[in-house]
Amino acid sequence: MKYNANTPNGTETESSTAEHPSAKYFRIPNIRTETFWLIERVLDGDSLIVKEEFGQYQKEIRLYGLDAPEIHRNRKIREDEAKSHIPASLLLQYGRMSLDYLLQVAPPGTRVTILTEKENQLDFWKRQLDYIILPSGECLNELLIKNGWAKPSSSYYCFSLHYFQELSTLARRNDAGIYGFNKTF
C-alpha cells in the first residue's frame, strides 16, 4: 500500500510502501482464495476444521509446508520417534505445546481466509492443503514455523517451502518454541 500525506499547505510529509504481511501468499501462481470461513475446531498443530461463516459446510484443512508433532499415539508418532530418535512421550509433549500455541493465535471462532495452490490441493488422506490467513493479515503456517512450533515438511510440495525452511533455520538459531527444548525435533 502506498500513500502520501499532505499538510494543509500541500507539502508532502510522509510516504509509505509497507506491504500487508500476507501479500506474498496472494501472489503465489494459481492460488485460489476462499473467504468467510471460521475455525470450527483445532485438531493438532497442523490440522483444523473450518466452517463456512454463512453456511453449514465444514472441511478439514492440513496446513501447507509444515509438520507439527502429534498429540496422540498413532502410526505417525512411531515413525517420528524412529526418525528423530526422540521418545514418543516427549514428542507428544511437544505436540501439545504446538497445539496450545495454535489455539492462542487462532482459537475456534476465528475468521480466516483460505488460500489453496491449484496444483497441490489434497494430501494423502484427502484433506485440503491450505495457507490460513488470520484477521491480523498474518499467515498461520508462517507463524507456526517462525515461532518454532512446527518444522517445514516436503511431504506435500508448496510454493513457500523454501521460505519456510529459511524461517525454521532462524527459529532453531534463536531457540524459538520447541527448538528451545530440542534442536532436532
**Model confidence over 104-132: pLDDT tens digits?**
999 999 999 999 999 999 999 899 999 99
Residue 172 lies inside a defined structural domain of this protein: no
Whole-number CA gyration radius for the chain: 18
Look at the chain and report how many structural domains it folds into. Answer: 1
CA distance 173 to 159: 24
Residue 77: CATH number of its domain: 2.40.50.90
pTM (whole model) above 0.75:
yes
Q: What is the pLDDT of residues 25-80, one digit of tens each?
A: 999 999 999 999 999 999 999 999 999 999 999 999 999 999 999 998 888 889 98
Range of the structural domain that residue 53 is part of = 38-147
Instruction: Please check whether residue 43 lies inside any domain of the structure.
Output: yes
Would 46 be classed as within a structural domain?
Answer: yes
DSSP assignments along 117-135, one per residue: ETTS-B-TTSPEEEEEE-T
139 domain residue, yes or no: yes
Does any domain span residue 94?
Answer: yes
Neighbours of 62 (CB within 10 A): 21
Convert 1-12 to b/e letters by CB count within 10 Å (16 or more is b). Answer: eeeeeeeeeeee
CA angle 93, 142, 130 (to 5 degrees): 95
